[in-house]
Structure 1
Amino acid sequence: MTDWARVRADDFAVPEGRPVEELVAELSAMLRSPDPVVRDRQAYSILATWIDREVLSAEQLVDLGDEMAARFGDSEIQARAFAPLILDCIVSAGVFEPRWVEPFTSWYAAEHDLRGHDPSLGWLHAVAHGADLLGAFGQLPEVAPTSLLDLGLARVLTPTEYALRDLEDSRLAYALASTLTRPDLSEEDATAWLATAPDALRLVGITAGIPAHITNTFNTLNALYVLVDRGVEPPLQSTRTQVSHRKAVLDHLAAALRTLSPHQS
């Protein structure tokens, strides 16, 4: 076994004496580990760094992407939740296969375990990690932006007992806003996904407190409103990109938000 703690300490230098394929296979297996140090601090951080530094070839990235896409059907939550992080790294590095989209979209809104942090498993963050991949897919002309916008809303509207925390709603809002910057979006496409939101947010017959999914949706759309209004600033960049059809999107967001907060203009 490789001393992965030493690899981190040595500025993520690739160990000598073993093929990269073997090292990546070992790291990929570690991404399923219930130990957060093994999975997060070692496997994820090393793979993400190596992908950014172009240690892996395009063919190796495709193979790793195929493995991560298959993880969306894994029985372990930590395996499912970390798969989109690695796929995001791969897509952001310029490697994409259309066959990765369907496993992700089938999993994202259906994931039932939305724990952000678990005392023994560490960070899980399925919603936030999935949002990062949604945002990456949202920049690709090969992926229909409308399907991703629908998916993002479906994720927060899906009934759950978990109220999102640790800025997960903001991560999803950023992914949606980023997708809304697509220049190929028509006004109808940029707003149609929000058409059902006001009715979905109406608290009809609610007597025992606001359900978690209503809170999740409201907080996500609130954060999205600010991004649409102010523009989207990608990481490590100082310029903001405006969303397509900004005024129309703001009007639809306001209509949804007023359902729960009628004092908002």
Structure 2
Amino acid sequence: MSVPTATDWSEVCARDFAVPAGRPLDALVDELAAALADPDPLVRDGDPYAVLGAWIERDVVAGELRTALGHRMAARFGDPAIEARSFAALVLDMIVSRGDHDPAWFGAFARWYPAETDLRGHHPELGWLHAAAHGADLLGTFGRHPAVAPGPVLDLAAARLLARTDHLFGQREDERTATGVARTLTRPELTEKECVDWVERSAAALADHRRGPAPAWVSNCARTLRALLVLARTGVRAAGPGTPLLPLAHGPAVTDALLRALGPV
């Protein structure tokens, strides 16, 4: 059940995200954090989401307050509600994108992402859930962060793709996952072995399903690898529209590994 917010966040949006007078910033951030776990999609995915994103981007929420919010989101990966877990990835993505980092955040994410079983994209009452896609966005942000080793990020991507699920991607989760992986693969310090080992593990799993109906997870994995094949050849945008295209480290070797993996399926 949705809990009414004390602040008119639509008015904050209309005022170019100016901080409301008369209330401490930490109390406002607490209210926003609660709203980003609200089961009502008009609350969770509406004005509070826009305000929190703007305040993080503009460093209104910065320093110890932003770090505390990061810890709060990392802890939320253990929340019983899927909407809370999934949107925790979105908020943590905002924070890590600003350069903040704590090893505990990646640890919490790594425990949650491949183990998440509720991969629904959109729900008629809860709205967008999209755990696979939100997690993929955060995966790519961690993968680009200089304080995070890229090899374990690629291992985590493989673990998510090979996790058995009956849910078939239907809301472009395959493209979002490929983008997160491709952004990780832009790290120049990656060795060729690191770049292809995780693909070869995926290939071994796919090869067991050459014939007969493909389980949902096999289809999800194969479609993600096909999307990644395009990015291996074209490059990937560093963050989003308007950012430069970056080449993947050891792009030809990655391309060859992907072609070998996709051959049997």
Partner of 2:95, secondary structure, is: helix
Partner of 2:70: 65
Query: Given the alignment, which residue of 169, 174, 184 partners 1:164?
Result: 169
For the residues of structure 2 that align with 1:205 and 1:249, how far apart are their CA atoms? 22
How is 1:204-215 mapped onto 2 (pairs within 5 angstroms)? 204=209, 207=212, 209-215=213-219
Instruction: Find the aligned partners of 1:129 and 1:140 in 2 and give their Cα distance.
Output: 17
Q: Say whether 1:191 aligns with 2:200.
A: no
**1:53 paired residue number:** 58
Deviation per residue, 1:101-157 (Å, 9 max, x gap): 100000000000000000000001101111111111101232121111111121122
Structure 2 letter corresponding to 1:177:
A
1:220–1:46: structure 2 CA closer, same or farther, 3 Å change rule? same
Q: What pairs up with 1:95-110 in 2 under 5 angstroms?
A: 95-110=100-115
Q: Residues 146 and 193 of structure 1 are in contact (CA less than 8 Å); yes or no, is this contact kept in structure 2?
A: no
Q: What is the CA RMSD across the aligned residues, in angstroms?
A: 1.4
**What is residue 263 of structure 1 aligned with on the other side?**
none
Give TM-score, length-normalised by structure 1. Answer: 0.94
Deviation string for 1:157-199 (max 9, x for gaps)? 2111111122111111011011001011011111111122222
- In 2: Cα distance, 1:10 partner to 1:165 partner: 37
Q: CA separation in 1, counterparts of 2:166 and 2:140?
A: 25
Partner amino acid for 2:235? G
Cα deviation for residue 31 of structure 1 reads 1.4
2:185 aligned partner: 180
What do residues 25-51 of structure 1 show as CA deviations (whole Å, max 9, x unaligned)?
011011111000111112222111111
Consecutive aligned runs of 4 or more in structure 1 exceeding 4 Å deviation? 203-207
**Residue 179 of structure 2 aligns to which amino acid in structure 1?**
Y
- Residue of structure 1 equivalent to 2:86: 81
Distance between the aligned counterparts of 1:43 and 1:165, measured in 2?
A: 27
> Equivalent residue for 2:3?
none
User: How far 1:76 sits from its partner (Å)?
Assistant: 0.4
- Say whether residues 1:242 and 2:209 are aligned partners: no
Deviations 1:221-256 (A, max 9, x none): 000000011111232435321111111111100011
Structure 2 counterpart SS, 1:67: helix
TM-score, normalising length from structure 2? Answer: 0.94
Counterpart amino acid of residue 50 in structure 2? S
Aligned to 2:264: 259
Aligned length: 259
Structure 2: distance between partners of 1:104 and 1:239: 27
- Within 2, Cα distance between the matches of 1:10 and 1:148? 39
| Structure 2 CA distance for aligned equivalents of residues 196 and 57 of structure 1 | 40
Q: 1:192 to 1:205 in 2, by over 3 A?
A: closer
Alignment pair present for 1:43 and 2:16: no
CA distance, structure 1, for counterparts of residue 244 and residue 75 of structure 2: 36
